[in-house]
Amino acid sequence: TNIAVQVKEGYTVYSCGKNVTDSDKNVITKIFEDMGEYEEVDEQHLDVLTAMAGSSPAYLYTVVEAMIYGALQVGLPRDLALRAAAWSVIGASHLLLSSGKHPAELRDMVVTPGGVTIDAIYALEDGKVRTAFMKAIRDASLKAQRLARDACDEAERQLGKEN
């Protein structure tokens, strides 16, 4: 999950082992339903979802902060820049989830020939923003895998000491 659970807008994923009963799952859903969205996933997806859903608030806050700084650079007041950036992220996210459209299709609805958005997209592509995000997700996923392996190894060592 991520820190958005503080406002009941988190996205929590979980995986259940074969010994988890329906009663156990009911308890799980009762806990998670007050935290936002939740979804049971295959265990193999947990590490990458940690890198995405768990860490993504930090990525998005970095993007929002950059948007605010860009607006400050051309004279927009800070409080207005923050609200504009935050509401833009919220609105875009709601539209993405409700429309069922691919993000590229929605982006292309904003980009007009010779307009301001295409210049912004060009600057983002020139800065390799997509590559940076892809690397961030990959690197965070690999780290999550290492941490999970280390935790399993430690648990096995502890079990070995008890026996």
Query: pTM for this one?
Result: 0.84
Q: Pull the structure tokens for residue 96.
A: 């993405």
Q: How far apart are CA 45 and CA 103, in angstroms?
A: 22
Q: What is the pLDDT along the chain (163 residues), one digit of tens a residue?
A: 789 999 999 999 999 999 999 999 999 999 999 999 999 999 999 999 999 999 999 999 999 999 999 999 999 999 999 999 999 999 999 999 999 999 999 999 999 999 999 999 999 999 999 999 999 999 999 999 999 999 999 998 998 888 7
Q: How far apart are CA 3 and CA 46, in angstroms?
A: 17
